[in-house]
Structure 1
Amino acid sequence: MQADSQTLFFDAAWLGTGWARDVRVTLAGGQIAAIVADQAPRAGETRHGWAMPGLPNLHSHAFQRAMAGLAERAGPGADSFWTWREAMYRFVGQITPEDLLAIAAQAQVEMLETGFTRVGEFHYLHHDAGGRPFADPAQMSAAVVAAAQETGIGLTLLPVLYSHSGFGGQPPSAGQARFITDLDGFARLVEAARGHAAALPDAVVGVAPHSLRAVTLDQLAHVPALAQGGPIHIHIAEQVKEVDDCLVWSGQRPVELLLDRAGVDAQWCLVHATHMTPAETLALARSGAVAGLCPITEANLGDGLFPAGAFLAAGGRIGVGSDSNVRIDAAEELRLLEYGQRLDQRGRAVLAQGPGASTGETLLRACLAGGAQALGQTYTGLAVGSPADFVTLDSAHPALAGHRPESAIDAWIFAGGSSLVDGVWRRGRQVVQGGRHIARDAIAARYRATMAALLPA
């Protein structure tokens, strides 16, 4: 056995193909070195409940965690994503790199505590107040990296190219000043971000053209080279107004236009893709790209419902993300994904794969694979050679009373939620114990001080 190896004993473990009982897992070098089922626990061996892989969070704007609950008062007219966005612009002007470190760390603690083990940070808060560039163009990215170092979460950093305020290269607004960069500046920013991310043992750096509103088609053509083989993420077709504006400008719908002009393939993640025709849905599924769904945020902003049933039936790939971080809960993202389809279709178990299939396991399996792909990872689940990123459920929790492991994932998603998460391991290190992150108290105290300064009484 290697010097840095350890063994853990689980009463049961979900290995992708199904549940195994009495499982001993050997960890070494941040990976799973061996898995053996039907074992007897050894004297003194650490014993845990029911284990499953940690879930990727493929889309986050960490700084928006600080806005949670602050944008829920009705305005003088109809409220929508677009009125929420103006509130976000007003809020974002205050945030310093030190503030962002505190906010991102708090968000990442909450992600880990609910079962997310890697996050895709779609990061567009680049510059100082008023849009003044920092001497280090990736100073704000460095704050996100520092938060990941502190919390232990896996990080896929996605610096954002944001140049315009609307289709066809419209000039940016004053509220967007901290986001704006041109291609040359963006290339320097990405290079600097890669330097910061190198401090993490398994960070991935990709790129994110913000949206077809925020980049021109000419700019978009240069993005794949900047990705250097890493993930490419883009917001697309989130709002009906966006679709209508794109049609007026180009004569095509956003997803249609992107698929036609950008060579979308498995390297890409199309975030939201809410408003698609059946033809777009089929074409996106056939492209191999991942649809990045954020059910809590999409519900909060009134975006609409993604056509998940048709997309999955066509072989499409999906993952989930916490987006605005108005509420961070891995199980709730999966639950709302299914519940939205139930409300739309007026049925139950809409996304389950056939008679007798577990809805929860279907959702988890799809979002593990799709989320990993979107974040530049190869998904293998709890298997030899895979990263030692996993979650344990508290089998003694009342929400699991009377359950066997075979119904545990359904109970986690549809009944108990995040309160069932007992432990979380990242690269073989336990970062959540008894449902609490090991650094929660210090990180929460710093977050409270930061919020007191940002939002004085």
Structure 2
Amino acid sequence: MKGFWFERAWLPDGVASRVLVRVTDGRISSVSTADTIPLGVERLHGLVLPGFANAHSHAFHRALRGRTHGDGGTFWTWRERMYEVAGRLTPSSYLRLARAAYAEMAVAGVTAVGEFHYLHAGGNEMAEALKQAAREAGIRITLLDACYLSGGIGEPVRGVQERFTDGTGDRWLDRVAELRGDDNTRVGAAIHSVRAVPRETLSLVAGAFPDRPLHVHLSEQPAENEACLSAYGMTPTELLAEAGALTPRTTAVHATHLTGRDVELLGSSGTGVCLCPTTEADLADGIGPARELADAGVALSLGSDQHAVVDPLLEVRALEHGERLRTGRRGRFTPVELVAALTNHAAIGWPEAGRIEVGAPADFVAVRTDSVRTVGAQAEQLPLVATASDVAVVVVGGRVVARDGVHEALGDVARLLREVL
């Protein structure tokens, strides 16, 4: 049995002081208060939050950071640069890149990642590389294997898109059925988008693995909506509803350009939404109706997507700031709601995680309260001022994986990235 003593901790009932947590086999076995720190217990300073969930990642996009801004353009021109990177990767190089990307997440407080995986290259070698990369980086992974069959509505795949496709829905199903989870990995499914999966195949993917999480890119760009309306006479959300793809196990990623009816469909079906504010800003996607979605009953989660920024605390702040910019009002989300989105592990198939309570995985993020950014802040408002630079200690399953920006097993993450990039 291990023990941790927290100066302050974000518990389900609110922020508490002098919290003693006991850990058995990687899970929390007791939570109490203690004025005196017992012998052999590790003390974590600052405010300790549950581990952060990165619900939407494309690990190989990390190679594009800082390399796509010079010529302006749009999401669609950025996509061509992304294709260039995808075309060069091998399982070996992807392992090195993903390991470094996941290590960067770990030092920023991410304890589990949802990897939206569509770089199949005709088999599961890339998927196995991602599983290994996450394990070596010390974080859990949900492999969300994406069906990708067309280059656009009614268009064949072309060029590097050949690396994304299995050719048919049945072949995708057969390949994904071969993937196996383990103590560090869970396997889910994904509809890449209504652009990449034909109408007649959507229901096959949606129903393929009914006990696993299902993710889908949804209405990230107006052009996607226009193409869907032109081809099918309905929005992408309506098309997914028709196919039975909107369910409580489904997470729609981005959901930026929605109609009122779309919001109703997502809320009434229990579908979650993963927002990626820094990516949506970087790619000029727009600002989605986050408050309206939450009010409709949609559970929100957060993702770093293309990793223009890997900082969950900036991501959650951008969620609130986007709402302020969109509406001209402050306090659109309470700090409690923001932390719920920051720690929504259920969105990626780990519903037992994301809380400091008995039975949950012992995943903790200690955030400094004495830095130039955080000193003087109320504990309850710390997520609105802190950044990843303030993450002091990260614990996954009761094991420390990072301290003060340095990975315990892999060392200097910048060195890892430099070597692979």
Same fold (TM over 0.5): yes
2:321 is equivalent to residue 351 of structure 1: no
Specify which of 255, 265, 268 is matched with residue 250 of structure 2: 268
**Residue in 2 that maps onto 1:99:** 93
Could you tell me the percent identity over the aligned residues?
A: 36
TM-score, structure 2 length as denominator?
Answer: 0.95
Gaps of 5+ in 2: none
The structural deviation recorded for 1:446 is 4.3
Equivalent positions of 1:82-93 (< 5 A) are: 82-93=76-87
Cα distance, 1:268–1:32 mapped onto 2, change above 3 Å: same
1:393 maps to a residue whose letter is V
Aligned-residue CA RMSD (Å): 1.8
**What is the alpha-carbon distance in structure 1 between the residues aligned to residue 130 and residue 323 of structure 2?**
34
Which residue is 1:15 aligned to?
A: 11
* Mapped pair 1:285 → 2:260: no
Q: Give, in whole Å, the separation in 2 of the partners of 1:174 and 1:440.
A: 36
Give secondary structure in 2 for the equivalent of 1:441.
coil
Could you tell me which residue of structure 2 aligns to residue 167 of structure 1?
153
Give the direction of change, closer, same or farther, for the CA distance of 1:445–1:172 in structure 2 (3 Å limit): same
1:207/1:231 contact within 8 Å kept: yes
Counterpart amino acid of residue 389 in structure 1: D
Aligned residues: 419
State TM-score, norm by structure 1: 0.88
Deviations 1:164-187 (A, max 9, x none): 01124x211113111111223312
Confirm whether residue 64 of structure 1 aligns to residue 61 of structure 2: yes
Pick aligned residue for 1:210 from 185, 192, 197: 192
Match of 2:311 in 1: 329
Q: Does 1:28 align with 2:24?
A: yes
Instruction: Give the Å deviation of 1:228.
Output: 4.6
Unaligned runs of 5+ in 1: 128-132, 353-359, 452-457
Which residues of 2 match residues 100-249 of structure 1 at below 5 A?
Answer: 100-127=94-121, 133=122, 137-168=123-154, 170-181=155-166, 182-194=168-180, 197-198=181-182, 201-249=183-231
Aligned equivalent of 1:441, options 373, 390, 411: 411
Q: Which residue of 1 aligns with 2:71?
A: 74
Shift of 1:379: 4.7
In 2, Cα distance between equivalents of 1:206 and 1:319: 16
Cα pair distance change 1:20/1:409, threshold 3 Å: closer
Retained in 1: the 8 A contact 2:5–2:44?
Answer: yes
- Which consecutive segments of 4 or more residues in structure 1 shift more than 6 A? none
CA contact (8 A) 1:361 1:410 kept: no
Residue 318 of structure 1 corresponds to which residue in structure 2? 300
1:341 pairs with 307, 323, 335, which one?
Answer: 323
Q: The residue matched to 1:235 in structure 2 has which SS?
A: strand
Which AA in structure 1 matches 2:401?
V
Paired residue for 1:357? none
Letter aligned with residue 186 of structure 1: W
Closer, same or farther: CA 286–418 of 1 in aligned 2, 3 Å:
same
The CA deviation at 1:217 is: 2.1
Give 3-state SS (helix, strand or coil) of 1:230's partner. Answer: coil
| CA distance, structure 2, for counterparts of residue 261 and residue 143 of structure 1 | 32
Structure 2 contact 302–341 (Cα < 8 Å) conserved: no
CA contact (8 A) 1:105 1:443 kept: no
Cα offset, 1:435, TM superposition: 3.0
